[in-house]
């Protein structure tokens, strides 16, 4: 939800900036730092979208052979892929944390807006932590250590 609202805001800001640039002859101009805001906003939106997309089964899959495999092998493939993705998200989260601390320590800012870069890292870090929790919870569910929340529609989650 937040990622969608953020992308809508980025779109509106881009329209305003392009319109302002086109009408510069009448005293308007582009939104200052528009490309910086698009860069940061898009990165943040991705980190907000990915965990929810995963939990709802929205990632692209290649099912050419998968449905012809025996059920135990299908379950093993899902567990291995979830475990690998959890490891990837943990490393990603760790490196975002390191990057955020470094950007904060060196007071790095964006060129035009002079906005601290670590702010974007901090928001992305929150999304990455949510991503880790999403993969951890799904792995626990697949191992039988947890259950879907009451009212969670497994069918709409497109679980294999």
Residue-wise pLDDT for 63-102, tens only, equals 788 888 899 998 899 899 899 999 999 999 999 999 999 9
CA distance 18 to 61: 37
Residue 27 in domain: no
Question: Residue 134 is part of which domain span?
Answer: 33-61+68-142
Contact (CB, 8 A) for 98 and 121: no
pLDDT per position as a tens digit, 117-157: 999 999 999 999 999 999 999 899 889 899 888 887 655 44
Residue 41 in domain: yes
CA distance 47 to 158: 21
Residue 2 in domain: no
Is the model's pLDDT at 160 over the cut of 60? no
CA distance 58 to 49: 10
* Average pLDDT of the residues in 33-49: 94
**pLDDT at position 148:** 84
**pLDDT at position 5:** 92
Residue 1 in domain: no
Residue 76 in domain: yes
**pLDDT at position 3:** 86
CA distance 135 to 158: 15
Residue 7 in domain: no
Domain count, the chain: 1
pTM: 0.84
């Amino acid at each position: 939800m937040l990622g969608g609202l953020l992308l809508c805001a980025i779109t509106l800001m881009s329209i305003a900036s392009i319109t302002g640039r086109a009408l510069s002859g009448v005293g308007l101009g582009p939104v200052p730092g528009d490309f910086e805001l698009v860069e940061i906003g898009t990165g943040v939106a991705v980190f907000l979208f990915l965990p929810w997309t995963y939990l709802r089964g929205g990632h692209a899959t290649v099912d050419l052979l998968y449905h012809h495999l025996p059920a135990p092998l299908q379950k093993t493939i899902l567990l291995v892929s979830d475990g690998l993705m959890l490891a990837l998200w943990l490393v990603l989260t760790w490196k975002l944390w390191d990057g955020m601390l470094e950007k904060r320590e060196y007071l790095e800012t964006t060129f035009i807006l002079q906005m601290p870069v670590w702010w974007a890292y901090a928001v992305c870090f929150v999304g990455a932590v949510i991503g880790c929790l999403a993969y951890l919870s799904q792995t626990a569910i697949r191992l039988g250590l947890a259950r879907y929340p009451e009212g969670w529609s497994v069918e709409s989650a497109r679980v294999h």
